[in-house]
Chains A and B, each alone.
Chain A
């Protein structure tokens, strides 16, 4: 361990048995220019006291690629320079003196095509437990087109989903059936029918509705499809319900998905906790069976929410676009769950754009070309109601599913009335927006006008007028200071 640490040790000297600094092993190359085909990751690193940030970055590069804690002679049997990840840039995080953004480039040959499991095993494999770091967070990734092209992407995509549903020019409306737990299949279907007949496009199983003692999955599927078909005939409009096929094994999931297909459902649902490989398998199944695939991001907050450690949700969103789901919960900003407006916009950009330009203010560290992979419909769900319609459209745009669970089922005049209130509010706001009105500022007036001809909307506005969730976000961009939107 003698001499200048910043100097790369080469040749026989490099592979002498012992322990070298990562920088000396060639994992820190400040003048490296990433190639178009490199996968690039940016990590937020918090080194242990006294650890040089460049050495920490090199360590992350090493541990997420070829290195092990000691020198191995078998490296010399390989084109090791190629396989070594290269940390090439370390920037201090604004307003956080102990944290650094480390940029690391990985050669494309390090990854198996079309496998999120393989990508993640490298990038977030062992390295997150590495002792010289207090904390480590994967902030963003640049996926080269060459790699993007090895994935099929969303099975359906926003455009084809809209074509299948014959719904254009407005956000879609959904609701999660409540209560989450305890309804029998028969009672559950009642909620679905009322909500769809009242004006929603979709209803949704909650993430933990699978097949429990109170309701076997087949009961749920059968009653839900009765409700969907009845609502379709009652309105002349296509309806759907996300049948959650999440189960203990792939075999069970396939069985449930096949049954959903047999019953004529246009959409099935899975939870993020089933794992990346299972998600990709279900995406393949969905593609083969003309099915829209809804993903509930159950569990993500365990690793996405804290700013210093874990994986940013923007990275999860990128992986899910590659993996091939059609819907993903991506935050509401104004609702009950975590979501800073600028950071959330970044997630939505990742889902919906053909090309993401670098936008540090939205937390996007890189240009990302999606190479015509289908677009992914973001879903806003959790603590939102009709009175926020102008804000939701302003923040989230038109290609989004707005899910009003409590805001539909908790309506004082009943579920159908709750659904109608949401739909009328939505249509009135889109009409006003298209007419060129300043709908964000005139929003409450537009809603009040629409409510004159719609007593369910009037009731909804009265009941929920004061409901807001105004807490400081934990996951905010580092480049522009913001707080959660205050309503």
Chain B
């Protein structure tokens, strides 16, 4: 091979500085941003760093003529609701775009209803529409296992699965598919649909957040909305986190978001009913203990109250 001159292969790079590429491609910035803005998720971040490194090396190998095929980039994100799968998918799309694996870097997030039709002949166009929209970017299918309903032989989901598999194989340059959902159900889904398993190269598991992490996430959410917690409210919220986790429909960060939405509602009502004259910015921003403690989570949760969980 030494007699092949550079003139004959002008596109082949001779050497690569991975660290320079790491910075200049913007991958470093994405990873730093991921670290700075996402609480916890240490194992996820580690997997993403590894994936980024692999793709960076793969890209360099391609530039040197050592690799020719586009690597398989389809992924599965498993974990409970509210563990950051969609957020990380967005960052992943950005990362893949900066590395040049997808051309546009947008994320199209769908569920079964977006792909599967209601009557004969409805599903294929629907699925293709979504796939076309996602081309150049990432298609994120949440709770992907609902596509497959073995109990119904003539379920239209099967048609969507077939088109999906075909495009995942034939259009690897055009889009990346991320399948997401609960870990156990995804495992069953892959068992019944081995075509997916073989086309997915990267599995990332999203663990539940710890109590501390959830509290921290809640604080950040409030800060973004320009609210503050009084010390008593902070204590109440910590207790809330520990109680809520053991109750039904717990959804990690999403449960925190819902809890805060309700706390803001209660705060507004409290301020309105107290009718205590002019209020300053501090009063308008403070979430106080009663706003948290009024939640039925402190009274046994969903089972004790007809209201939906918060």
The reply, when asked whether chain A contacts chain B directly with Cβ atoms under 8 A, is: no
